[in-house]
Amino acid sequence: MSAIILDDGLVHYEVLGRGRPLIFLHGWLGSWRYWMPTMDNLSDRFRTYAFDMWGFGDSDHNAERYALDAYVAQLDRFMEELGVTKACLVGHSMGAAVALLFAEQFPDRVDRIMAVSMPLAVGVVGRRLIASGGSSLLDRMLGRRAVSDYPEVEIEATKTDPNAVLSTARSLEALDLHNAVDELDSLPMLLVYGSKDSFVPPLSNEDLRDFDGNVRPINLVDSGHFPMIDEANKFQRLLRDFLETKPEDLGALALKEEWRRRMH
């Protein structure tokens, strides 16, 4: 376990590997923990980082910092403190929104983004979060899956400050993430959704056609809200391919047939 002090607050983080910087940003009820298998898998080519945002995991709880712009500032300070000038970002649900907002504010510091289970329909997701009161949210995210199927999430969920969930939900409602994706027209971006996600709606056929060439949307048919857990091997291969694909070739990025054969 590693920790640093940012703006008088303790931030827990993990780091593995050497190479190009790759930063993982967790979602609601998350932490660094569910990223570890993916970080380990990519550590042969990348310097991988994951940190707990304010109010989550083992980082400090501070209600004055529970907003998406505060998490953008936290990422800014984290990169500055660890000497990371530019990085690839992988964000999940709330973390994907943070990655997108960070890229809007600091475009020269982001190489590319993989946004996983990002709530483009922010109104629907925001209302669900607020209705949950910040509690019992894990059951809502999993749908028919059992909490026990996700021990790496369940372990950390009890550490989450419900106020952090509610505050980010309120700040999320004021955003249009679809427009934010469109505005980052020169940044390579991979949008990944689980077709069985009952919390964040997966992309429809119309959505899949509604993006420019720099954005590649992909649905993982056997995944729910946590594709990095539900289909770990496929997720890791997809991320590795994305990170090694030239921007002009992004439209050809796809789930390879040999992955499908190997996974079934």
Q: pLDDT at residue 257 above 60?
A: no
Mean pLDDT of 182-191: 91
Mean pLDDT of 135-155: 70
pLDDT for 110-137, tens place per residue?
999 999 999 887 677 777 777 766 556 6
| Cβ contact 84:23 at 8 Å | yes
Over range 71-86, report the average pLDDT.
Answer: 97
Of the pLDDT bands very low, low, confident and very high (cuts 50, 70, 90), residue 261 is very low
What fold characterizes domain 2-263?
Rossmann fold (3.40.50)
Q: What is the mean pLDDT of residues 233-237?
A: 96
Confidence of residue 211 (pLDDT cuts 50, 70, 90): confident
Q: Is 235's pLDDT higher than 50?
A: yes
Question: What is the distance between the alpha carbons of residues 164 and 56, in angstroms, rounded to a whole number?
Answer: 8
Instruction: Report, as an integer, the average pLDDT of 33-61.
Output: 96
Give 224's DSSP letter. Answer: -
Query: Does the pLDDT of residue 25 top 60, yes or no?
Result: yes
Average pLDDT (21-35) is 93
Q: Residue holding tokens 């940044």?
A: 187
Q: Per-residue pLDDT tens for 82-113? A: 999 999 999 999 999 999 999 999 999 999 99
**47 has pLDDT over 50:** yes
In the prediction, which pLDDT does 146 show? 63
- The pLDDT of 205-225, averaged and rounded, is 82
Q: Is the dihedral of CA 189, 238, 17, 74 positive or negative?
A: positive
For 83-109, b/e burial (b = at least 16 CB within 10 A) is: ebeebbbbbbbbbbbbbbbbbeeeeeb
Higher pLDDT pick, 18 / 247? 18
| Res. 258 pLDDT band, cuts 50 70 90 | very low
Share of the chain above pLDDT 90, in %: 57
- pLDDT at residue number 229: 94
Comparing 140 with 54, which gets the higher pLDDT? Answer: 54
Long-range contacts at 229-232 (CB < 8 A, ≥ 24 apart): 229/34, 229/150, 229/152, 229/153, 230/194, 230/196, 231/263, 232/37, 232/38
252: exposed, middle or buried (C-beta count within 10 Å: 0-12, 13-18, 19+)? exposed
